[in-house]
Amino acid sequence: IGNPNDVKVVDEVINGDGLIGLSMLKKDNEDPNIEDLHQVGTVAKIVKRINLPDGGVNIFINTLKRYKIKKTLNAQNPIVAAVEYLEDEDSDSMEVKALTRAMLVEMRQISENNPFFSEEMRLNMVNIDNPGKIADFISSILNIDSEEQQRVLETVNVRKRMELVLVFIKKEQELLKIQNRVQSEINEKIER
C-alpha cells in the first residue's frame, strides 16, 4: 500500500479493531471513490504490518467473510459503506469433500516442482479446515487475472467456487508443462 491516505487508513484500523473491508478496483485509479469498486469484497483482519523504505506498507491479512456493498456512507477516502455479509452455500456435501481432495492433490503436484510455492504455503493449504477457504487460498496464490479472482470472490456457492478454481489449477498445470518443455528444449540447445 503506497498511497499516503491509504497508509493512514491502515494505521487507524490497526489502532482500532484491526478489521478492514477490501474491495477490488474495477480499474486503476489514483484517487478512487466507491463507484470505482466492485460491489463484492471481503472483510479482513490485519495481522501484520511491515513498513517499506518508500513510505508504503505491506500488510498481511486473514480474510473473514465476504460482503456486498449495500449503502455508501462516505464515497471518498476513507471509503465507508454499509454492507451485507454473504454466507457460503453448499459447503458440506460429499461432492464438496471430493472436490477438496481433488484440489489438494492437484495443488500438491503443482507445488512440488515450483519454487514459487513455499513450504509455508503448502502447510497453510492443507491445514485450512473449511472447503470454501481452501478454494479462496488457492485462487489467491495462482497466477490468475484480477477479473477471474473477482469472479471467485463473488461465487458464494462453495461447490461452484471449487469447480471454478479446479479449472484454474488445470490451466496452471498446462502452463507448467509448457514451461518445462520449453526449458528442456533450451537446455538441450545450450548443451549442444
Q: Using one digit for the tens of pLDDT, what is the confidence trace for 29-68?
A: 878 889 999 999 999 999 999 999 998 899 999 889 999 9
- Identify the pLDDT of residue 14: 93
Show Cβ contacts of residue 134 under 8 Å, excluding neighbours closer than 6 positions: 100, 103, 104, 125, 128, 162
Q: Which three cell numbers stand for residue 19?
A: 478489521
- Identify the pLDDT of residue 160: 95
Compute the distance between CA of residue 185 and CA of residue 155 in angstroms, rounded to an integer: 40
The one-letter amino acid at 3: N
Exposure on the CB side of residue 13, measured as CA atoms within 13 A: 23
**Other Cβ atoms closer than 10 A to 137:** 19
Cα–Cα–Cα angle for 34, 63, 30, nearest 5°? 30
Q: pTM for the full model? A: 0.80
- Measure Cα distances from 152 to 51, 74, 84, 180 in Å: 30, 27, 18, 28
Write out the chain's pLDDT in tens, 192 residues. 888 888 899 999 999 999 999 999 998 887 888 999 999 999 999 999 999 999 889 999 988 999 999 999 988 888 899 999 999 988 778 899 899 889 888 888 777 766 666 666 767 776 778 888 889 988 888 889 999 999 999 999 999 999 999 999 999 888 888 988 898 889 888 888
- Identify the pLDDT of residue 120: 66
Q: Which three cell numbers stand for residue 26?
A: 474495477
CA-nearest of 42, 31, 46 to 77 is: 31
The SS3 assignment for 188 reads: helix
| Cβ-contact 90, 159 below 8 angstroms | yes
Exposure on the CB side of residue 182, measured as CA atoms within 13 A: 6
C-alpha radius of gyration, the chain, whole number: 19
